[in-house]
């Protein structure tokens, strides 16, 4: 196990873990191609902070790469809505482009 992963796991075990820490843990799992672990961290982050826009793009692109297209579409569609609610046109546009690139199931 990498030291970074070990540190992030310890940090997220604390009730004081913030959104960025959960996001970093998910990305660390993603970088190790541990899709289910990454998804678990993204799901926990979504529970704690559903308005954390960056997670939707990263979870969606990860799921797309893993061939889990239906799940990818759900994450990206939700992310577009969340980004628009926050006025984050750049993130909404990025996710719209990704959604357009995903072939229909």
Give all domains of the chain, ordered by start, each with its CATH number: 3-101 (1.25.40.10)
What does the block give as tokens for 37? Answer: 């672990």
How far apart CA 105 and CA 58 sit, in angstroms, is 20
pLDDT at 103: 62
Mean pLDDT of 62-85: 97
pTM: 0.92
pLDDT for residue 1 is more than 80: no
The DSSP-derived string for 4-73 is HHHHHHHHHTSTT--HHHHHHHHHHHHHTT-HHHHHHHHHHHHHH-TT-THHHHHHHHHHHHTT-HHHHH
As a whole number, mean pLDDT of residues 60-83 equals 97
């Amino acid at each position: 196990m990498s030291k970074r992963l070990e540190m992030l796991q310890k940090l997220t075990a604390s009730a004081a873990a913030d959104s960025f820490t959960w996001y970093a843990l998910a990305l660390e799992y993603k970088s190790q191609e541990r899709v289910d672990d990454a998804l678990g961290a993204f799901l926990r982050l979504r529970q704690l902070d559903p308005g954390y826009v960056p997670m939707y793009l990263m979870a969606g692109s990860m799921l797309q790469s893993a061939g889990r297209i239906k799940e990818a579409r759900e994450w990206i569609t939700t992310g577009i809505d969340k980004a628009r609610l926050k006025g984050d046109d750049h993130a909404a546009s990025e996710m719209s482009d990704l959604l357009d690139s995903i072939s229909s199931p």
